[in-house]
Amino acid sequence: MNNFKVAIGSDHGGFEYKQAIIEFLKSKNIDYVDVGTYSKESCDYPVFAKKVCEKILSNEVQRGILICGTGIGMSIAANKIKGIRASLCGDTFSARATRAHNNSNVLCIGQRVIGEALALDIVDIWLKTDFEGGRHQRRIDMIES
């Protein structure tokens, strides 16, 4: 896998998958920063979306992973931040495509929507896939402007 660092965050609805993904990252020797939440106690997902995105924008990490109940709230919150391209993925094809074509820097997952094994496969593929550039870069430039 590429040599990079990942920020990971969740709300209470994604806490269990956050813990599973952290174990996966450890097993692959991928450096990470856990920005919380640190329990299943009810909390507000925008707080953790912002923390992960700030780590990316400050260049402390290269990518981020956000988990909530559906992944939708995290995706909406993250995409409000300039420079973030967050993608909600519920299948491996989308995980590969969003890296290759959209150069997504944040992966969003819904704990209540997909199984844990699929979530880990999505993370694995998303982390391994490089941006293709070329004609896709023109489109990223249009989004950024």
84: three-class secondary structure by DSSP: coil
**Bridge partners for 7 per DSSP:** 33, 64
Distance CA 54, CA 49 (A): 9
**Cα 50–chain centre separation:** 12
Of residues 12, 43, 101, 136, which has the active-site annotation? 101
Choose the catalytic residue: 12, 43, 53, 68: 68
Going 73 to 77 to 79 to 80, the CA torsion angle's sign is positive
**Is 43 a catalytic site residue?**
no
Q: Is 89 annotated as catalytic? A: no
CA atoms of 132 and 79, how far apart (whole Å): 21
As annotated, the active-site residues are 68, 101
